[in-house]
Every structure is written in structure tokens, then in C-alpha cells.
Amino acid sequence: MDQIMDLAQKHSLFVLEDAAQSFGARWRDRSAGSMGDMAALSFFPSKNLGCFGDGGMIATADEELAGLAKMLRTHGGKDKYDVEHIGYNSRLDTIQAAVLLVKLKHVDRLNNLRKKIAYKYNEQLKDIKWLTLPLELEEAEHAYHQYTVRISAGKRDYVQVGLEEKGIASAVYYPVPLHQMKVFQNYSRQAGNLKHAEEACREVLSLPVEPLLKEEELGYIIKHLKNIKM
């Protein structure tokens, strides 16, 4: 984010920070969601801080942008009978807000449980040659919304099926890179190829990192990963 913000400042660019999966993560002395001109956060139930339905938040330190966001979420205006913009009905309902206020008190503890699971994976899986583990830089604090590995030699789907046969859930986030999605086919422009993004989409697999995962369940997952023959 330091490099992105430096580049944006140099060229007067606007930065919208996608912090949907990183609530509680940090880079140096900054929290995820506090580095761009605006940030989008998700409170979908599966997120580190999740409500009971759909929900999200926009964060910004810019009063003008905050005012515009408030108008857009409420049909597009300060006066709902005389709106200024084409807006939405995107207000977080009171019940979801109440749920989030209660769960907010527990999010650090639950994030720490996610980290313990991730560190256990790191220690136990580091010697598997066909597995690339996630990297956490010294200056960073990972929130581990996902614990995503990369599986080489075109064997990602083979490994996922092997885990499924043992009753172990996993997921691919995400199977199609943005520049190949149908919605962007007539709009996207790219300078050169994006082979690394395409390769990542063929190799990534997210393992269970639910903070309430039991020790024996984690051991079961690790054991069967180690037993997969490539």
C-alpha cells in the first residue's frame, strides 16, 4: 500500500482500498481500511467481523467523500424527496448494526485464534514440496480471513477432490481472474500479459481457518494433506 499510495500521489490518482477480507489486518502502523482515500469493508457472515445477513461499511477521512457516500446509500440525496444523484438503498439495518457492535468486542480474540491455526499450518506443512504457503511480512499483521495455499504441477483440483473424499471442505478464491470475466470483456485494457494472475487462479486453494476449529479437526486436515500422494 505504501507504493500504491506513493504512485497515486505522484499522478493525482484516487485510491479505493478493498478491505473486505482484511478486518483486523495491519501494515506497519496502519490498519487495513485506513490507507486509501476510501475503503470498502464487508460484514458478510463469513468475514472476520460478520453480521447475520448482508452488511458493509465505507471508511474515509475525507468529509466531502463521506457526505457523498451518505447520500448515495440513501437513494442519492440528503432530502429523500428531492435527490441529487442516482443512488441506492444501502443503509445497514439496526439489527445488523447491533450484532456487529456485540461481535466487535470479540474480533481481536477470534483473529488471534485464526493466526494460531495459520501458524500451525505453516509449521506442519512447510516441508510439502508441491505446496506454497502464504507469506506474512515482518511489517504486516495478517487477518487470515482465508488461509490460501498454492498447489503446483496442475494438481490443485486433484488435491481438492482428495480432501473432499475425507470430508474436508476447501474452496477456490478465485477461479477466474478479473480480466477474463465476461463483464469486463468489452471494457478492460491490459498492458502485456497477466500470466501470473492466471497461474494463481489455477493453483490457489483455501483451507479451513474457522477460528473455532478444534485441535483434533486441524490435526485431521494436516494429516490428510501430508498423506496425499503426488
Distance (Å, whole) CA 127 – CA 56: 39
Cell of 72: 448515495
Distance (Å, whole) CA 70 – CA 137: 36
Distance (Å, whole) CA 187 – CA 140: 34
CATH architecture for segment(s) 2-104: 3-Layer(aba) Sandwich (3.40)
Q: What's residue 189's pLDDT?
A: 83
Please, which pLDDT band fits residue 230 given cuts at 50, 70 and 90? confident
Which of the four CATH numbers 3.90.1150.10, 3.40.50.170, 1.10.10.10, 3.10.450.50 does domain 107-227 have?
Answer: 3.90.1150.10
Q: What's residue 145's pLDDT?
A: 98
Rounded to an integer, the average pLDDT of 222-227 is: 97
Task: Tell me if 65 sits within 8 A of 37, measured CB to CB.
Answer: yes
Phi, psi of 194 (to 5 degrees): -120, 50
Q: Is the pLDDT of residue 34 over 90?
A: yes
Give CB contacts under 8 A, 24+ apart, made by 31-38.
32/143, 33/59, 34/59, 35/1, 35/5, 36/1, 36/5, 37/62, 37/65, 38/62, 38/65, 38/69
Q: List, by residue range, all CATH 3.40.640.10 domains of the chain.
A: 2-104
Residue 152: which of 177, 175, 129 has the closest Cα? 129
Q: What's residue 110's pLDDT?
A: 98
β-partners of residue 39 are: 17, 59
* Other CB atoms within 10 A of residue 36 CB: 20
Rounded to an integer, the average pLDDT of 4-8 is: 97
Phi, psi of 121 (to 5 degrees): -55, -50
Residue 145: which of 42, 39, 22 has the closest Cα? 22
Q: List, by residue range, all CATH 3.90.1150.10 domains of the chain.
A: 107-227
Mean pLDDT estimate for the chain: 96
Q: What's residue 65's pLDDT?
A: 96
pLDDT per residue as tens digits for the range 94-148:
999 999 999 999 999 999 999 999 999 999 999 999 999 999 999 999 999 999 9
Q: What's residue 142's pLDDT?
A: 96
AA identity, residue 133:
L
User: Is the whole model's pTM more than 0.75, yes or no?
Assistant: yes
pLDDT per residue as tens digits for the range 152-204:
999 999 999 999 999 999 999 999 999 999 999 888 888 789 999 999 999 99
